[in-house]
Structure 1
Amino acid sequence: MLPSRMQDLVNLCHLDIRGTHRLKEMPKGMGKLKHLNLLGFYIVGEHEENGIRELGPIDVHGSFRISKLENVNNSGEALEAKMGNKKHIHILELKWSSEDDDVVDVETERDILEELPPHSNLKELSIYGYRGKINIPRLNCRELPPLGQLPSLQHLQIIGLHGLERIGEEFYKSHEGTSFRSLEELGFYRMYNWREWHIPDKLDAFPKLKTLRMHNCPVLSGDLSAPFPALEELQIWNCEVLAYSLLRAPKLHKIYVTGFKYSMKKAAPHEVRIENTEQVQSVLEYCPVSEV
């Protein structure tokens, strides 16, 4: 553990806790360290004195991770962290680490995530373990926050959101017309209950997206026909029921596919790797390459 009187160091500016892998919670009263700008990560404790509210007065810089978000009780606590005011955070990780048998209130967990909106200066965001496990039968739809409102976001990874079933209009909402206008890399990983990715027909989004990765999304289905004008690399692994057509990706030149039903038209990529799919021939009809 860190020293219990850490909060008395009121003029502390830098606290390097890298490598403290056994650290389970933060000392009480960290919010008193109002000059602290280098912290690295914060572990949300189970008590008010070391909960997420303590982040409110701290203006951390650079890369920052918040873990054990399952200890946040409600959206009011999350709001007091004042994440939207922290304009110097450029890389942010939000991490839940609940056990599989924990019961999660879908609405509460969603509200908590919505009250942790980063500043628009954010360039990279990762979300881990947000499940929203259902405990009310009628609740069968989970939503992501409107990340399209982050104009500086360049890298986005969404990992292990087992409660998410659909991504729709709420994901793209932007006050400035173009959604995800700076995003260059987008990845979805271990999304075991994700079934639908809906992109509205006339949506202006992803103008700079170069890399799209979709790994282990076994029930995702449908067709994606939205334009990706800058897309260069596509990875789709173990998305067994997805029938995918890329019709508007003129710069696409790298495709990696495995365990996946795939068809592609109007593209001539330079590098293709296709494995464990029953529809290899339908791909090769449009690609001047040989099967791997």
Structure 2
Amino acid sequence: MPCGLRQLSSLHRLTRFILPQKNALAKNYCRLGELNELNNIRGSLSIENLGHITDAKTESRVANLIEKHSLDSLALQWGNFDTDDAVIGNRDEALLDGLRPHSNLQKLTINGYNGESFPRWMMGSLVSSLPNLVGLRLWNCGRCKHLPQFGPSKLKRLEITEMKFLEYLPEECWKSLSSLEFLRIKYCPRLTSLSLGMQHLSNLVDLSIRSCEELDLSKDKTGKILDFQGLKSLRSVEIIHLPKLASLPQWLLQLSNLERLEISSCVNLKALPEHMKALQSLQRLRIFRCEGLQSLVT
């Protein structure tokens, strides 16, 4: 972005703000400080190449995102850069901490963040910092081991993708998400189990779980059989590339309102149980690339 953008103080629409990828170019192009006085921008904003910022603490605060009260949607994207150095993780934590948006924000995407934990304004309780948030996308947050603390919220859509160190989903995370309608969990290779707390997702309509190699859909982390009696609104379920899936979990067979079920690339699935007949609302069943499947009933 060209220098001098900060002078457009009456600007209403700025969908992309692209930072320079090389320090040698920084003096000729916009830094985050150029956003400081652009407090009239509204709609959606994507800030890109955050991974190339060096003075994270100072630059993030001068961006002054917390004063941009008319923004509905914000995407914070780090881009591709070397993540081997632990210093990068500390820098990212300071950077995201200073990029706290205004409480009016409705949709937030964080992509490529490499801190080990999310900042205080996310971990304390999202409902206190972003009470109007209805959509949250966490993509490629490679070092994070824990999800934010949601608190009682209006969140309707949650996507968790490429969180490589996420091992389990704490029960307390889900108890306050009764408004959630759409849940995507993808490419989390260390995730071993779902949480019994998901039974509180009484308004969940669409669930998709993909490419979680260690995930057991039937039991929680203590070995207790999962029972999601509260998922009365669930209409669509996708289960894709779960190598540990040998049989369909009991909670899935209790979804009396389920209309669509897709099972793909689950190589160890051997059979579909007779209890499938309980899914009396099912309109579409799609099964493919399940090479181990030998029969449709047991």
Structure 2 matches for 1:110-121, cutoff 5 A? 110-121=93-104
Aligned partners of 2:274, 2:236: CA distance in 1, in Å?
Answer: 14
SS at match of 2:176: coil
Q: Which amino acid aligns with 2:211?
A: N
Aligned partners of 1:37, 1:85: CA distance in 2, in Å?
Answer: 14
Q: Extract unaligned runs of 5+ from structure 2.
A: 218-225, 288-298
Residue 282 of structure 1 and its aligned partner are, at CA, apart by 7.4
* Percent pairwise identity: 22
Q: Which amino acid aligns with 1:172?
A: Q
SS at match of 1:106: helix
1:211 correspondence with 2:182: yes
- Change in Cα spacing, 1:115 to 1:259, as seen in structure 2 (3 Å) is same
The Cα offsets for residues 239-259 of structure 1, whole Å up to 9 and x where unpaired, read as 121123461312112111012
- Give the count of matched residue pairs: 250
- Change in Cα spacing, 1:52 to 1:207, as seen in structure 2 (3 Å) is same
The Cα offsets for residues 189-208 of structure 1, whole Å up to 9 and x where unpaired, read as 2233322322328x742121
Provide the residue aligned with 1:32 in structure 2. 7
Provide the residue aligned with 2:221 in structure 1. none
1:62 correspondence with 2:43: yes
- Normalising by structure 2, what TM-score? 0.74
From 219, 234, 243, the equivalent of 2:216 is: 243
Structure 2 matches for 1:1-292, cutoff 5 A? 26-45=1-20, 46=23, 47=26, 50-59=30-39, 60-72=41-53, 73-100=55-82, 103=85, 104-132=87-115, 141-143=116-118, 145-146=122-123, 147-148=126-127, 149-167=129-147, 171-172=148-149, 174=151, 178=152, 181-200=153-172, 204-226=175-197, 227-244=200-217, 245=226, 247=228, 248-260=230-242, 261=245, 263-265=249-251, 266-268=254-256, 269-277=258-266, 278-279=268-269, 281=271, 285=275, 288=279, 292=287
Residues 146 and 166 of structure 2 are in contact (CA less than 8 Å); yes or no, is this contact kept in structure 1? yes
Q: Extract unaligned runs of 5+ from structure 1.
A: 1-25, 133-140
- Change in Cα spacing, 1:117 to 1:273, as seen in structure 2 (3 Å) is same
- Change in Cα spacing, 1:42 to 1:251, as seen in structure 2 (3 Å) is same
Aligned partners of 2:233, 2:249: CA distance in 1, in Å?
Answer: 17
Q: Which amino acid aligns with 1:33?
A: L
Higher helix share: 2
Q: Which amino acid aligns with 1:80?
A: V
Residue 163 of structure 1 and its aligned partner are, at CA, apart by 1.7
Residues 135 and 157 of structure 2 are in contact (CA less than 8 Å); yes or no, is this contact kept in structure 1? yes
